[in-house]
Structure 1
Amino acid sequence: MSADTATAHSAADTTTREPLTRPWILMYHSVADPTDDPYGITVARDRLDLQLRWLRRRGLIGVGVGTLLRAHAHGNAAKLVGLTFDDGYADFIDAALPVLRHHGCTATLFVLPGRIGGTNEWDPDGPRRPLIGEDGIRTAVAAGTEIASHGLAHTDLTRADDEELRRETWLSRRWLAELTGRAPEGFCYPYGTVDARVAGAVRDAGYTYACAIRPPTAVAGTYALARTHISQADRAVRLGVKRLRHRLGR
């Protein structure tokens, strides 16, 4: 067996033997005008307000994933929902954060330390959107936002060689630690793609959890947390259906 194969098997063993009754984690991206959005990842500020109001009326409160998992480990997460914002868009500060504060919620913001202050150049068809800068990250931290890594540059890590994978995991964690004063707990796989090798690299880099979208069944546990995509189309009925599907494990 090759060294790479052994590493992949070790990572798979580690992730699959960590059973986790799935906490509900919602996945957002940009909070802005959703008109020009071929990917369906932009939610208007007033729609985010409606969605968080829907949660609060049901006795649910949105928190960062680190907080959610700690509460879950102690059996205190029944009324908690994880809120995540991928890619680290600059609009998080002016559009999302005030709405979160209004509803008494916090969130996890997954940022790309290799693209701080840049744009979403990895999206070929969508509009260019500015990414959060260093001052914005500090503002988010001061407001109680959990800052976590999305890798360095939004690379599909399942296609990365071992050296690139190490940079994307280890280096992004170190840069965020230098910027915020605290090493991030969480990682989010760009494009939601993960396999055993990638999950093992994230674990070895020191993260305590990682978020995917629909992880393969061979990779499970805290290093492959599934999430529910939330879009502009999600009002009360759709949110109710998505909550039910989560409860049913679908």
Structure 2
Amino acid sequence: MAADTTPRRARTRPLHAPPSMPWILTYHSVADPADDPYGITVSADRLDEQLTWLRRRGLTGVSVSSLLRADAAERRALVGLTFDDGYADFLHEALPVLLTHGCTATVFVLPGRPGGSNDWDPLGPRRPLLTEDGVRAVAAAGMEIGSHGLRHLDLTALSDDALRRETHGSREALEHVTGTLPAGFCYPYGKADARVLAAVRDAGYAFGCALTPGPSRGPLALPRTHVSHADRGARLRAKAVRHRLRHPAAPVRGGRP
């Protein structure tokens, strides 16, 4: 099981957002970025370079649960690392780099597509997703496993019953896979509205990750910074500054959308 686990009481005790929003980076696939129409692929060498840049500035990449549990003084030396979609390449490409740098991450997976592919991306390329054994291997390596829903659907367009399956159902499915209820949820396509946030809260998740959560603030609508293969020192520095300017505080508390 993962070294970074969240107890079952997370159902009723959501994490509180810190006084200022922590910096959380968003990755997807770690592979050859030559065919990358969506700009979501980073090579293992570039990931190594990016983590080296963070470490030289006194920052350690950690899972979102670890980031939110840290006190204000500790958090200044941390940055959240997240990997969306649960690509199989995480296990052999991203994980060794993370471990070399002493980092952990939250990996958001799709328990409704074990061993499937990213067929929600019409332009491709098709990339395999983690199998259930792969998810367990990632967890055993000390990474946090979170839910990305069951099948990578636009949650804002679903019926109430389908939304419940994607939120409640994916949490229960991941408990079956890893033996641990996931604390975190990541909104497919970065899209969430008040109804979706309420469903995630009711499912018992302690935090939710978006890209640009709009007016919603707090632990169920954490903003993140997308990282691409083009991001090196100057671009990462600019993105860190932009994050601080856009998200100086988090007035909403207690996991309420």
Question: Which residue of 178, 182, 185 corresponds with 2:183?
Answer: 185
Structure 2 Cα separation of the partners of residues 151 and 143 of structure 1: 22
User: Which segments of 5 or more consecutive residues in structure 1 lack a partner in the other structure?
Assistant: 1-14
Segments of 4+ in structure 1 off by > 6 A? none
User: Which segments of 5 or more consecutive residues in structure 2 lack a partner in the other structure?
Assistant: 1-13, 248-257
- Secondary structure of 1:176's partner? helix
Question: Which residue of 126, 131, 134 corresponds with 2:132?
Answer: 134
2:240 paired residue number: 243
1:48 paired residue number: 47
In the alignment, residue 218 of structure 2 is paired with which amino acid? G
Are positions 1:230 and 2:227 aligned together?
yes
Shift of 1:20: 4.5
Asked whether the 8 Å contact 2:17–2:68 carries over to 1, the reply is no
Structure 2 Cα separation of the partners of residues 135 and 46 of structure 1: 26
Aligned residue pairs: how many? 233
1:161 paired residue number: 159
Q: Please list, as runs of the form range in 1=range in 2, the aligned pairs for 1:14-29 lying within 5 A after superposition.
A: 20-29=19-28
Structure 1 Cα separation of the partners of residues 211 and 239 of structure 2: 14
Structure 2 Cα separation of the partners of residues 63 and 172 of structure 1: 23
In the alignment, residue 232 of structure 2 is paired with which amino acid? R
Structure 1 Cα separation of the partners of residues 244 and 157 of structure 2: 33
Q: TM-score, normalised by structure 2?
A: 0.88
Shift of 1:211: 0.2
Q: TM-score, normalised by structure 1?
A: 0.90
Are positions 1:99 and 2:97 aligned together?
yes
In the alignment, residue 24 of structure 2 is paired with which amino acid? I
Shift of 1:103: 0.3
Structure 2 Cα separation of the partners of residues 40 and 79 of structure 1: 28
Structure 1 Cα separation of the partners of residues 73 and 220 of structure 2: 20
The CA RMSD over aligned residues, in Å, is 1.5
Structure 2 Cα separation of the partners of residues 244 and 19 of structure 1: 18
1:3 paired residue number: none
Shift of 1:126: 1.5
Shift of 1:138: 1.2
Structure 2 Cα separation of the partners of residues 75 and 203 of structure 1: 28
Provide the identity percentage: 64
Asked whether the 8 Å contact 1:20–1:221 carries over to 2, the reply is no
Asked whether the 8 Å contact 2:139–2:145 carries over to 1, the reply is yes
- More helix, by proportion: 1
In the alignment, residue 94 of structure 2 is paired with which amino acid? A
1:67 paired residue number: 66
Asked whether the 8 Å contact 1:20–1:222 carries over to 2, the reply is no
Shift of 1:86: 0.1
In the alignment, residue 198 of structure 2 is paired with which amino acid? G
